Amino acid sequence: MTNDSDKFQKIWRRVRERLRTNLGEDVFSSWFARIEAERFDGATVTLSVPTLFLRSWVRSRYGDKLLDLWRTEDETVRRIELRVRTQGEAALARRKAETEIERAHTEANISQSIETTPDGRIIAEISYGGDTATSSYGTPLDRRFSFATYVVGPSNMLAHAAALRVTSSQPGEPIEFNPLYIHGPVGTGKTHLMNAIAWEIRRRTPGRKVLFLSAIRFMSSFIEALKAKDTITFKKLFADIDVLLIDDMQFLQGKVVQQEFCHIFNALEHSTHQIVIAGDQPPARLEVLDDRMRSRLSGGLVAQITPSDLDLRRGILDKRISQMSGGQSKVDIPSSVLDFIARRIQSSGREVEGALNRIVAAHSVNKLPITVEQAAVSIADLISESHTRPIMIEDILRAVSGHFNVTRQDLLSARRHKSVVFPRQIGMYLAKTLTTRSLPEIGRKFGGRDHTTVLHAVRKIENLLGKDDTVRQSIDTLSILLRE
């Protein structure tokens, strides 16, 4: 029985980690941190939550995902049951939470102090490397997200500069812009900047009180305070805050919740308190908010982050590789693979990092060298075919010259050295197989050559493809790069 219980809890820990990875630390902390796995009866897993609101929210929005993740661990599971813990179970839940914090302290060298409110709720202030990170109402900060790890480019330059200005102000000084509102699509680095602001302020002025909250966390905490008829304690939480950071503003819903936020916003804005807010839309387009609140959010500095360009995505990959190299396990990833990722994954910096992580994970399993071909297999489902376009011979000349380290002029010249002839023949073969150009047209594009020269090159490469793995790999690599 004990073994079954241990196995059940191990599965729950793995499911939790998958939730944390898939949904992000913010969402996980808001909705899953206080869920307990209780038992597995036949085909039903029973989980307990502290409040009716939490049960309703998780069941309606994440019920299917919970079931899917659990079934990846145990296919016999058919149903996830969520129940609300009774008041008499609060002590047990508290002891479990204390054990979890203790375990985290042991594993990650995290120091903590634990206090409880009269109704048994835990107030834990967790220190990462000596810096107080958050109260129980706050969203945990992520040490990975600092200014040192943030890659700056044209798409985020204003937001980055504004964030730095916020951290440089001293207590008691006039606030330059309040609020600072940062907006941009998902995965463009808003949460990274919010974390960076919090860490940098704590580094520069440790005495300042910083509270980082997701809008979802604000909403759920306020609703719990309403249910407990203890909104005074909730309001007091914000009274002495020097810097308030609210992430994912687009999720702040409900008239009563918004009214409470507006009161807190007004109280902080009219004093020497800094407010920083992030959302996926500019204030004027946040339809969940009323006109007055949208106007107030627009009254400071609104800084947009646009989708990343190629150079920024490549910079993100370089930064991530640098971080990997600082760890215990080092992975050799060729520049051609990083270029491939940066060109093919165009949605967001977050997905660029996700693609890199997937390629490294595949390498750790199959132990094969990381090549463009292997990378393409690993992230095939992430690559959008909507970005395909006709391949031009100019593209082929550029790709071949880069792959074989010869110049475009060499490929078009009359030089007959082996180091030039072979890449030129590869280029002609690719032009024949990847474009609709005729042999005479290809010949003209390759320095005014006769169509018979092109035909000879194509036949030679076709013959080598069946005999030489190096030639086949070169063709495969160049074909993948050219289809970007």
Q: pLDDT tens digits, residue range 425-455?
A: 999 999 998 888 889 889 999 999 999 999 9
> What are the distances in angstroms from CA 458 to CA 232, 399, 428, 430, 469?
79, 18, 7, 8, 17
- Region 9-31: what's the mean pLDDT? 81
pLDDT of residue 425: 93
- Region 238-250: what's the mean pLDDT? 87
Q: How confident is the model at residue 123 (pLDDT cuts 50, 70, 90)?
A: very low
pLDDT of residue 453: 92
Q: How many CB atoms lie within 10 A of CB 360?
A: 17
- Residue 272 CA to residue 238 CA, distance in Å, equals 13
Residue with more model confidence, 390 or 151: 151
Cis bond leading into 179, ω under 30°? yes
Taking each helix axis from N to C end, the angle separating 310-325 and 349-366, rounded to the nearest 10 degrees, works out to 40
Minimum mean pLDDT range among 28-42, 206-220, 362-376, 384-398: 384-398
- Residue 449 CA to residue 453 CA, distance in Å, equals 7
Q: How confident is the model at residue 332 (pLDDT cuts 50, 70, 90)?
A: confident
The answer on pLDDT for 387 being more than 60 is no
Q: Rounded to 5, what percent of the chain is helix, strand, coil?
A: 60, 10, 30
Q: pLDDT tens digits, residue range 176-192?
A: 888 899 998 888 889 99
Q: pLDDT tens digits, residue range 132-148?
A: 333 445 678 888 888 98
pLDDT of residue 389: 60
Instruction: Extract the runs of DSSP E, i.e. beta strands, from 156-257.
Output: 180-183, 210-214, 243-247
* Percent of the chain whose predicted confidence (pLDDT) is above 70: 84
pLDDT of residue 99: 45
The answer on pLDDT for 259 being more than 90 is no
pLDDT of residue 381: 74
Which amino acid is it at 105? H
Strands 131-134 vs 122-128: parallel, antiparallel or unpaired: antiparallel
- Region 364-381: what's the mean pLDDT? 82
Strands 243-247 vs 274-279: parallel, antiparallel or unpaired: parallel
Residue with more model confidence, 44 or 386: 44
Instruction: Extract the runs of DSSP E, i.e. beta strands, from 331-376.
Output: none
Q: How many CB atoms lie within 10 A of CB 318?
A: 14
Q: pLDDT tens digits, residue range 306-317?
A: 888 888 888 889
Minimum mean pLDDT range among 100-104, 257-261, 296-300: 100-104
The answer on pLDDT for 100 being more than 80 is no
The answer on pLDDT for 268 being more than 70 is yes
Minimum mean pLDDT range among 12-26, 134-148, 187-201: 134-148
| DSSP tally for the chain: helices H, then strands E | 20, 11
Instruction: Give exposure, 373-396, as e/b (b: 16+ Cβ within 10 Å).
Output: bbbbebbeeebeeeeeeebebebb
Q: How confident is the model at residue 386 (pLDDT cuts 50, 70, 90)?
A: very low
Q: pLDDT tens digits, residue range 43-77?
A: 889 998 877 667 777 887 788 888 888 888 888 88
- Residue 168 CA to residue 445 CA, distance in Å, equals 57
Q: How confident is the model at residue 327 (pLDDT cuts 50, 70, 90)?
A: low
- Tokens coding 104: 């985290």
The answer on pLDDT for 130 being more than 60 is no
- Angle (CA) 81 87 92, round 5°: 80
Name the pTM for this structure.
Answer: 0.54
